[in-house]
Every structure is written in structure tokens, then in C-alpha cells.
Structure 1
Amino acid sequence: MAQDHSLLGLRLLFSFPLLHLHLLKMAEEAPAAPAAASDFSADQIEDFKEAFGLFDRVGDSQVGYGQVADIMRALGQNPTNKDVAKILGNPSADDLANKRLAFDAFLPMLQQVDVIPKGTLDDYVEGLRVFDKEGNGTVMGAELRIVLGTLGEKMTEPEIDALMSGQEDENGSVHYEAFVKHILSV
């Protein structure tokens, strides 16, 4: 069970930097009076519909049940497979492979995922602790750069440089708890 928690933390960590920047951008563009947490703007819904259409491999304006989690993640959410299965009504393997879903049925599911609490400081720290070989609260900056550029939501070199700016000590190590606090405060 602890390993599942670590994996969730890693998944959240690798998706977090770009998601966090995306959410900040959305917050800047949001109207002064915030909408309810489960309400999406017309522009967001159009973006979601366009992304949904990219996953339609048949041309019937529907996607397979097995693609729902991928679409949600492509739209900046980070649901667990268990969350998605619950939202889909715990489908069988056959349903995942064969059932299809229209956008009108998908949008309320996306709204459900949007209100699921996101990762906490502890989740992200736990995810980085996996890379702490010496158990001293640090990870090698070079290793962290590789991870950020190759796993999860792959970041570009300029994005990694901006994120890592001022985070490495004289030995090239990053104190990961302080690093996560820095990211969450941006």
C-alpha cells in the first residue's frame, strides 16, 4: 500500500509543474467572480470538446471507456484509475474495451474529477523521497532534471531551468521538501 502511495505521489509530481502553471494561467484569465467549482466556461468546454475529438478513433464522436482516463489527464486532471473506474460505474474489462462514450456523457464525469482533492505537500515530498538514495532529504539536481524531462508531463529544457533556478546547492543537490514548497508557493 505504501508503494501505491509513492507511485501516486510520483504521478502527481511529474504532472504537477505544468498543471500548476496551467492552473495559474487559468486563474489569471478567470473572471473576477469565480464560478462554482464544477462549472466550466464556454471556452473551456470548447477546448475539452476539441481534445475529446482527438481521441475519437472511429469518427462517431465517441471515445472508448478505456480512453477516458487518458483524456482526463490530457485535460490537466490527474485522476487515479480507481477514480475513473468509479465514475464509469466500475466497468468490466469487456466494457473498457468495447463501450463508447459521447462528449455529453463525458463532461459531467470530468466535472466529478475536477472536484477531487489534488495532491498535498506530503504526496509530492513522498514522490521525491523515492529518489533520495542517501535518506538525507536531498536528490541530485541532474537526476531530477532527467526525471522532469522524461517522465509524466515531459517538461522542456527552458521550463526545467526556470523551475530549478536557485534550487541546487553547491554539490548539485536539491532539498526536495523546500523544492516542493517553492513550487506550491509560485
Structure 2
Amino acid sequence: MASLPQDKIDEAKQVFEVFDKKYESKVDAHHIGDMLRSLGLAVTNAECEKRGQTPKPGTKTITVEEFLAIYSEFFKMPEKTWGTYEDFMEGLKLYDKESNGLLSLAELSQVLVAMAEKLTPDQLDEIMKCTETKDDAEGMINYDTFVRKVMAGPFPQDN
């Protein structure tokens, strides 16, 4: 993979090895998005499915060479390709009826599990737990704080 720096190739191979559960030098194609996100790319499942990710596990496997080609393609994309802080804020402002930077936790939950790249209730619970998002006495959250925590990722101290 001449298009990736050697340190990124090494890192991608390490991630691939973690997902190679049967030690067969193959990974279930269902995990392409998970592997790319492990490498710090904020990819969508839809974009990953265009490049070979399967919707269900057990359908197809990929080799490390195939994964490196997919990783290289995503790695070369400009960062603006993926959702930015501004994109998320603009989208959530639609639900801020009083334009005060607050929206109900129930409404945020509904948006996240019902629109676009739908989250499962378990995934939503995990995000709320990881971002320590709790509603106030009136059931509201500050969505700016929420978006900042989501954008910081699971290990904000590394940013």
C-alpha cells in the first residue's frame, strides 16, 4: 500500500489482527466499519457497505490486503467528507424549538434511533453513558455539550 504511510499500514494490520477472531488471516466483512472507526475514521455504515461491508455477519470475509485498500480509500478522503461539529449542530437546531441550545433528551433519542444511520437502543444507551449525558429536571440537555463530547470520541484525552 504505497498510498498509506508505513505507520498507518502497521496500525491497520494490528486492528485487522484484533478482528481476526479465528486467526485465519480473514475478517468478517461485517466489521469493516468497526475496524475503520478503530483507526479513527468517522465512517458511516452506508459508505462502508458501498465498499464491501455486509449488513449481516457471516456472509463474506476479507483479507488484510482488501482491508488495506478500503482503509487507503477512506484515509485519502478529506476530513470534511464526514460529519463535522457544525453539521451536527445545524441538524440538531431543527429540534431546538425555543432556540436556546436545549432539546429534550427524549427527542434527541428519537432522532438518533429513527433517522438516517439508525442507532439501536443499546448503541444509544452506550453513547449516553460514554458522554455522561443526562437530562435536567425538565428533561432537557445542552446539545452543544453533547455534540462536543461525541466528536471528542471515546478517548478524548488522546485528542
The TM tier, using the shorter chain, reads 0.5 to 0.7
Which structure is richer in relative contact order (CA contacts within 8 A, separation 6 or more)?
1
Cα-to-partner distance string for 1:149-183 (whole Å, 9 max, x where unaligned): 9518936x8xxxxxxxxxxxxxxx85839x86xx8
Task: Could you list the structure 1 runs, at least 4 aligned residues long, displaced by more than 3 angstroms after superposition.
Answer: 126-132, 152-155, 173-177
**Cα distance in 2, alignment partners of residues 151 and 51 from structure 1:** 22
TM-score normalised by L of structure 2: 0.56
Q: What is the root-mean-square deviation of aligned Cα atoms in Å?
A: 4.1
| Structure 1 residue 53 displacement after superposition | 0.7
Q: Which residues in structure 2 correspond to 1:154-173 (within 5 Å)?
A: 154=130
| Structure 1 residue 39 displacement after superposition | 3.3
**Cα distance in 1, alignment partners of residues 24 and 8 from structure 2:** 22
Aligned length: 122
| Residues 1:70 and 2:34 aligned together | yes
Instruction: Find the residue that maps to 1:151 and give its secondary structure.
Output: helix
Q: Which runs of 5+ in 2 are unaligned?
A: 104-124, 133-140, 152-158
| Residues 1:176 and 2:137 aligned together | no
TM-score normalised by L of structure 1: 0.49
Richer in helix (by share): 1
Q: Give the equivalent residue in structure 2 for 1:139.
A: 102
Instruction: Find the residue that maps to 1:97 and give its secondary structure.
Output: coil
| Structure 1 residue 85 displacement after superposition | 1.1
**Cα distance in 2, alignment partners of residues 98 and 175 from structure 1:** 38
**Cα distance in 2, alignment partners of residues 154 and 76 from structure 1:** 17
**Residues 121, 98 of structure 1: CA spacing in aligned structure 2 closer, same or farther, 3 A cutoff?**
closer
**Cα distance in 2, alignment partners of residues 103 and 58 from structure 1:** 14
Task: Tell me, yes or no, if the aligned pair for 2:101 and 2:144 is still in contact at 8 Å.
Answer: yes
Q: Alignment partner for residue 100 of structure 1, among 38, 61, 69?
A: 61
Task: Tell me, yes or no, if the aligned pair for 2:89 and 2:144 is still in contact at 8 Å.
Answer: yes
* Sequence identity (%): 22
**Residues 82, 175 of structure 1: CA spacing in aligned structure 2 closer, same or farther, 3 A cutoff?**
closer
**Cα distance in 2, alignment partners of residues 135 and 102 from structure 1:** 51
**Residues 175, 85 of structure 1: CA spacing in aligned structure 2 closer, same or farther, 3 A cutoff?**
closer
Task: Tell me, yes or no, if the aligned pair for 2:93 and 2:99 is still in contact at 8 Å.
Answer: no
| Structure 1 residue 119 displacement after superposition | 2.0
Cα-to-partner distance string for 1:72-121 (whole Å, 9 max, x where unaligned): 11111122211111111x75x57x52311111110110122221612245
Output the amino acid matched with 1:151. Answer: I
Task: Tell me, yes or no, if the aligned pair for 2:16 and 2:64 is still in contact at 8 Å.
Answer: yes
Task: Tell me, yes or no, if the aligned pair for 1:129 and 1:137 is still in contact at 8 Å.
Answer: no
